[in-house]
Amino acid sequence: MKIGIINVTGYAGVELARLLYQHPQVELASITGRSAAGQSLSEVFPHLAGIDLTIKAELGDVELAFSAMPHKESAKEVIPLLEKGVRVVDISADFRLKDAPEYQSWYGFSHPTPQLLKEAAYGLPELHRAQIASARLVANPGCYPTGAILALAPAVKAKLIKADVVIDSKSGVSGAGRTLSLPTHYSEANEDTAAYALEGHRHLPEITQELKLLNPQASLSVTFVPHLVPMTRGILTTCYAPLASGKKEKELKELYRDFYKDAPFVRVADAPPHTKQTWGSNMCLVYPTVDQRTGRLVVISAIDNLVKGAAGQAIQNMNLMLGLPETTGLEALPVYP
């Protein structure tokens, strides 16, 4: 199976190339990156010297493509591919939301093909495995939503929590991408932690969309506050919600383990997880507990934002689309320290 990557020069794109190189069932056949067209991949990324490919301006003939373009730009690349019969995993936000007007509100553009929003499978395998397997277009989730939804899904599905949900997430600077910006310069980000997007982060509608699908009768009120922390990779998310009924911690953990018993990349941890425990892997570590004093659910999740939060999850989706075991090419353990 010949695979292509559109925009290999971004962090998600280059991580896709690294992971696909060791995939036993597919061939990375074509890569694009307009700013580096004509250069070999190893010139731009010396750590990928083993991949003998030249970066092109346009994608060649492939059977499945990953689009790692920014939002708004990605849809322009995806639509012609679908028309040619190429299956696509889109890493941007362009097909994640089901309600077209939300794109104007949160991303500042009118969606060019609203009809595709209903068709696109939301690429969180732990929730939509069957839909992904039969899809021609998969919308890879955002990094923040991946950690938050996986942390809350079992509790929301079981109707364990009341409406008021708080999600606090802390991300490394690679989540901002490779484009230069003042807040992610070393001297700005180092030894500094800051909250941002308090007026509403564009990943919020994605989070609420998926949580409401788990329990359509619930009228969830979600507060989401992201933070930038001085590390390269990783997202640590802490979620808080009042419990609807008394639940012991042991029962809660059993519920979570049962919910994720068939999810190879979600592990219910025995202790609060660290981001470094997922570094370089496609694993999401989840730790649910109960604050007995306040009657509040507290759930912590940790992921590598470039793997389970982007490229690794995209390959997990590709595996399902191709009828392969979803773990294929993604078995590597985390890097430590």
Q: Can you give the residue ranges of every domain in the chain?
A: 2-119, 143-305
Among 20-34, 84-98, 114-128, 174-188, the range scoring the smallest mean pLDDT is 174-188
In this prediction, residues 27-32 reach a mean pLDDT of 98
Mean pLDDT, rounded, for 34-48 = 95
Residue 310 near residue 143 (C-beta atoms within 8 A):
yes
pLDDT digits (tens, 9 = 90+) for 103-126: 999 999 999 999 999 999 999 999
Alpha-carbon distance 159 to 53, whole Å?
50
Q: Do domains 2-119 and 143-305 have the same CATH topology?
A: no
Q: Which residues are catalytic?
A: 143
Q: How far apart are CA 161 and CA 52, in angstroms?
A: 51
Q: What is the pLDDT of residue 229?
A: 97
Mean pLDDT across the stretch 261-286?
98
Q: DSSP for 133-183? A: HT-SEEEPPPHHHHHHHHHHHHHHHTT-B-SEEEEEEEE-GGGG-SS--GG
In this prediction, residue 295 carries a pLDDT of: 93
Cα dihedral angle (90, 91, 93, 97), rounded to 10 degrees? 60
Residue 259: Cβ within 10 Å count: 19
- Beta-carbon contacts of 60 under 8 Å, excluding residues fewer than 6 positions away, are 4, 29, 30
* Cα pseudo-dihedral 42, 45, 51, 52, rounded to 10: -30
Which pLDDT score is estimated for 245? Answer: 81
Q: What does CATH list as the number for 143-305?
A: 3.30.360.10
Is residue 81 a contact partner of residue 58, using CB atoms and an 8 Å limit? no
Q: Please give the CATH topology (third level) of the domain spanning 2-119.
A: Rossmann fold (3.40.50)
